[in-house]
Every structure is written in C-alpha cells, then in structure tokens.
C-alpha cells in the first residue's frame, strides 16, 4: 500500500520513471566515466515539463508541490545520482529562491527560462574557508552608482559551468553579521569579472559538475539584488529547508537503485544449487535494506507534506536528510557486499551508488550539522 500518492503525482512519477529507464539508465555509467554533463538529458526533462516542478505555472513551471518534486528527484536518483544532484541543485537552489524572494521582473527574466528548462540554475554559498560555517564568508559586494561590484571565491558549486544564472551570497555590510548578507543574480555568460576556475574530479557524481568560481570586480546591475539588502541569510535558511528535502529524496532514490541491483543479482545468482537470495545472510541483508528505505522514504514524504502545508519544517527536513543520506550509504555498501567481487567492478551499478551516496552526508549541511540543527529545534 502506497503512502498517499495522489493520481496526478503518480502519473508524473511513472512518466519520469519510464524516461529514466529508457534514456538515463543505459548511459548512467558512461557519463560518469566520461565526466560528462548530459545536456541532452536535461533538454528531454524540459520536454517532459519537469524542470520546474514546484514552480508556479505563471512563471513557466509545472505548478506542482514539494511532494511531487521529491518523487521526481527520487526517480532520477534511482538511476543516476549525478543527474539527480544537478536537477535538485537547479530546482531547489537555483530556481525556487527566485520564486520565493524575487520581483515580478526578476521572475520573468530569470525564473521563467529556468522553470522551462532553457537554462540550468546554480547557487553559490560555500567558500574555500567556510566549511560548515556557511555564514563565515569573504565574498563582498559593494554598491557603486547603479551597479554592484562582487569580489571573492565560491567553492563546491554544482552546475556553475553549465548554468544560465547563479544565485550568489555576498557580504554587503561586514558589521551586521547575519543581517549583512545579501543575494545576487549573476549571469555567467555576460558578466565580466566572473570565472570558473576549477571543475573538480570527485569520488562520485562526476557527471554533475562541481566548480570553484571567482569574482574579480564583477559588475552587475543593481536590479540583480534578490529581495532586499541584508535578507540573504534568512533566504538561505528557508531555501535549505526545501533543499534538504530534495537531498533526502535523492538519497532515497540512490538507496532504492542499489537495493534493486542487489535484489536482482541475488535472485538470479545461484550457489550450492539455489539462488543466493534464499540464504539467510543474503535474505536478511535485503530485508534490512528494504526496511531502511521505506523508513527514509516516509520521513521524506512527511517533511515534504509539512513544507507544502506551510508548517515550520526545519526539524523534519533535517531529520529526513540525515536519515536518508545514511540509508543511501548503508544500503549501497550492503549492495556491493551482496554482489561480492562483482559489486566492486564498474560492470555493476552498486559501486556507483556507493560513491554517489557519500556526498549526501556532506552536501547541504553535513550529518554533524543536521544533528546540531535538530538539537536546536528540540531546544537542546
């Protein structure tokens, strides 16, 4: 029995699942080996009208909710963590803040092409020295006439070298602490002084580009300030509530993909005259995998529901992200163990899910930070 999946949500999920099986699964390992961002896949996702699932139709989106978006992200993660990650960064981080905090003119100019899939979106918060203290940033923005001038470096920015717009956090008032941070819309193709300085090779997720970017007297028009000056950190905390739900959904997808690979192998592989799935050790692994995935999926759905209801979902989104990211790693590791030596080869998918899963415990707030957030929400 499924957990309250409305018919419209089910139809979207099934269409995305069919697309994933037909178009993404056959190339998932290939694009990872080649470190290639698959533009053609995102063009096709745009044709499916899912590049702006939780964005209002008036701005070019599908008009869905966070729950529908979580279902789509899970399906992408089930076949390719890299595609799922770039998709989640595009929607949660690169697009949604413009809908939440942008002016009508900004929504028309910047959000519509993102929601319609004409451009990819990105979000630049982390810096080389900030680590888990994301508010400790050196990037500065100063006002000169009718322009803002940005200087600084951002690190580990998903999609930066393929994005049509990047939302950049910068300090506009060094004396104001959290209230001195603002958000700016940067056009990578047109703004002088912007440069992608590094595209990182990573343990996994190499079909999703992770970049270092630099701003050297990067001048942008004053109308590129998102919301009001000094609102950047409040925007960030709201954005992360939705972003953590998307990472939880992506983690559930990774775990599901790893589990399905292990189950398929275990039911076909025979030892001592019977499928290895009939041996207690393997059957127990598969049962434990399924239990963990269902737990994480339900928690993710609950967080998405709370978000859609307008409730304070900081605790739930952090719980979902913490639980699902750990589930993804644990299930992928057990999937490799189930396949034995074959699990360690790139001919089989579990090794890719395992490498991809580790980032889920780091990105959008490490597991340690999730414990801190949850503790604060509990008044501890």
CATH number for position 172? 2.40.110.10
- The residue from 64, 91, 120 where one domain ends is 120
List, for residues 324-370, the tens digit of each pLDDT value.
999 999 999 999 999 999 999 999 999 999 999 999 999 989 999 99
The verdict on residue 43 lying in a domain is yes
State how far the Cα of 130 lies from the Cα of 111, in Å rounded to an integer: 28
pLDDT over 50 (residue 1): no
- Where are any strands of DSSP class E within 31-180? 120-124, 140-144, 147-158, 163-171
The verdict on residue 280 lying in a domain is yes
Are 79 and 128 within one domain? no
248 token code pair: 């939880």
- What percent of the chain has a predicted confidence (pLDDT) above 90? 92
pLDDT mean over 106-119: 98
pLDDT (0 to 100) of residue 135: 72
The verdict on residue 1 lying in a domain is no
The verdict on residue 129 lying in a domain is yes
Look up the domain containing 136 and give its range.
Answer: 123-229
The verdict on residue 257 lying in a domain is yes
CATH number (domain holding residue 113): 1.10.540.10
The verdict on residue 297 lying in a domain is yes
pLDDT over 90 (residue 2): no
Query: Which of 98, 103, 100 shows the shortest CA–CA distance to 114?
Result: 98
- The residue from 120, 136, 169 where one domain ends is 120
- The residue from 120, 151, 172 where one domain ends is 120
Q: Which residues belong to the active site?
A: 364
Exposure of 161 by Cβ count < 10 A (0-12 exposed, 13-18 middle, 19+ buried)?
A: middle
Q: How many domains does the chain have?
A: 3
Task: Calculate the alpha carbon distances from 235 to 91, 226, 362 in Å.
Answer: 15, 9, 21
Are 237 and 219 within one domain? no
Q: How far is CA 248 from the centre of its chain?
A: 9
Radius of gyration of the chain (CA): 21
List, for residues 15-29, the tens digit of each pLDDT value.
999 999 999 999 999
């Amino acid at each position: 029995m499924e957990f309250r999946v409305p018919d419209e949500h089910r139809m979207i999920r099934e269409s995305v699942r069919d697309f994933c099986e037909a178009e993404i699964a056959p190339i998932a390992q290939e694009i990872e080996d080649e470190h290639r961002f698959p533009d053609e896949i995102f063009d096709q996702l745009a044709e499916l009208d899912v590049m702006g699932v939780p964005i209002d139709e008036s701005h070019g989106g599908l008009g869905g909710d966070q729950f529908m978006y979580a279902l789509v992200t899970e399906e992408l993660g089930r076949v390719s963590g890299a595609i799922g990650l770039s998709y989640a960064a595009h929607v949660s981080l690169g697009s949604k803040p413009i809908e939440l905090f942008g002016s009508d003119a900004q929504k028309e100019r910047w959000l519509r092409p993102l929601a319609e899939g004409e451009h990819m979106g990105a979000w630049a918060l982390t810096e080389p020295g900030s680590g888990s203290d994301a508010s400790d940033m050196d990037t500065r923005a100063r006002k000169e006439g009718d322009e803002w001038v940005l200087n600084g470096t951002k690190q580990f920015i998903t999609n930066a070298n393929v994005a049509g717009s990047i939302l950049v956090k910068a300090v506009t008032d060094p004396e104001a602490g959290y209230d001195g941070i603002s958000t700016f819309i940067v056009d990578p193709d047109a703004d002088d002084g912007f440069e992608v300085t590094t595209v990182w090779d990573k343990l996994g997720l190499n079909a999703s580009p992770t970049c270092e970017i630099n701003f050297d007297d990067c001048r942008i028009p004053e109308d590129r300030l998102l919301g009001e000056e000094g609102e950047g950190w409040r925007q960030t905390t709201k954005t992360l509530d939705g972003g953590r739900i998307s990472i939880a959904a992506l983690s559930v997808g990774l775990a599901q993909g790893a589990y399905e690979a292990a189950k398929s192998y275990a039911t076909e592989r025979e030892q001592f005259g019977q499928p290895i799935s009939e041996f207690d050790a393997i059957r127990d692994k598969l049962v434990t995998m399924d239990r963990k995935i269902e737990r994480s999926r339900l928690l993710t759905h609950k967080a998405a529901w709370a978000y859609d209801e307008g409730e304070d979902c900081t605790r739930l989104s952090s719980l979902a992200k913490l639980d699902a990211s750990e589930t993804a790693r644990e299930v992928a590791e057990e999937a490799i163990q189930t396949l034995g030596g074959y699990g360690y080869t790139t001919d089989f998918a579990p090794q890719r899910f395992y490498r991809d899963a580790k980032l889920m415990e780091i990105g959008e707030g490490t597991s340690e930070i999730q414990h801190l957030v949850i503790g604060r929400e509990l008044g501890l």
